[in-house]
Amino acid sequence: MFLTRKKAFDEVFRILKPNGHFSISDIVLKGELPEAIKKEAEMYAGCVSGAIKKGDYLEIVSDAGFSNITVQKEKQIMIPDEILLNYLNQEQLNEFKSNESGIFSITVYAERPETACGCEPEAKCC
C-alpha cells in the first residue's frame, strides 16, 4: 500500500500545474492494527486493513514535492465492538482499544509549488 500511494502522489504532482492544489480524503492509522484485522477481506474492502500510519502518509505527500500540507479534517472511525469481535477475541479487543491505536478519516490539502522546469536537476516538472 505504501508504494501504491507513493506512485499516486507522484502522479498527482506530475499532472498538477505549478501553484495547483489538491484536497483528498483517505483512511490512516495511529498505532498498529492487530494482525487479524489486517488479514480480513471485509476490513480490506472497507479501506481499513490497507491503511498506513498518518505520519507515513503525510511523509509520502511531502516526498512527492508538495508544500503547504495541511490536515483539514480528522475524524476517528469507530468500528463497533460486535464487528471487531468477528476478528479479535475479547482480550485482543481490549488491548486494541486501550493502546491509543485508532483508525481515522483525514482530509489532506497540499499545493504544488511553482517551479521552473529544468532549473534544478531534482525538479519534478510536467
**pLDDT digit string, tens, across residues 82-100:** 988 998 999 988 888 888 7
Residue 101: pLDDT band with limits 50, 70, 90: confident
Q: What are the extents of the domains in the chain?
A: 2-111
46 alpha carbon, distance to own chain's centre: 14
Rounded distance between C-alpha atoms, residue 62 and residue 112, angstroms: 10
pLDDT in tens, 106-118: 999 999 998 745 4
Across residues 12-35, what is the average pLDDT?
90
> pLDDT value at position 90?
93
Q: Is pLDDT above 70 for 123?
A: no
Rounded distance between C-alpha atoms, residue 42 and residue 39, angstroms: 9
Burial class (CB in 10 A: 0-12, 13-18, 19+), 51: buried
> pLDDT value at position 3?
74
> pLDDT value at position 118?
44
51 within 8 A of 27, measured Cβ to Cβ: yes
**Placement of cell 492509522 in the chain:** 29
Quick one: fold of 2-111?
Rossmann fold (3.40.50)
